Structures are given as C-alpha cells and as structure tokens.
Amino acid sequence: MMTDTIDPVGRIDEQDDEQQVAQRLVAQARAEGVDLVGPDGLLTGLTTRVLGNGTGRRVDRAPGL
C-alpha cells in the first residue's frame, strides 16, 4: 500500500486500486508494443522516472538497469 506522502496521480487507498493501475500500465504497454522489461521497457522507464522525481534530478537511465 502506498504511504500518505506519495500522491503522484491521486492517493491510492486500496490494494485493488494499485493492482488496477498496474494492469492498465501493462495493457497500455502491450498495446503500444513496449516491452515490459529491458533497456527500453516499462519497468526501466518507471524506475527511471521514480528515481528522477525522488531526487529532483533528471535521470537518463536507472542505475543497474
């Protein structure tokens, strides 16, 4: 469950809501032909954005990915 300090797209109150968000992201990635993993994949992109937002810096690529 997300903490009260994280509010990127509106607070997600229920675990089911988090699951629905994840399912929508995966469905959209597949529909657009985006890999889920790998250098240009959904997971790498999300990780990079989260790290960039968390540090307040632009991150070109998530470390170790």
Q: pLDDT tens digit string along 18-65? A: 889 889 999 999 999 999 999 889 998 888 888 887 777 776 665 555
Task: Note the pLDDT of residue 55.
Answer: 74
SS (H, E, C) 19-31: HHHHHHHHHHHHH
* Ramachandran assignment for 32, one of left (phi > 0), alpha (psi -120 to 50 degrees), beta (any other): alpha
Would you say 48 and 41 are in contact if contact means Cβ atoms under 8 Å apart? no
pLDDT at residue 4 above 50? no
Reported as a pLDDT band with limits 50, 70 and 90, residue 7 is very low
User: Which residues, including other chains, have CB under 8 Å from residue 34's CB and lie 6 or more apart?
Assistant: 40, 41, 42
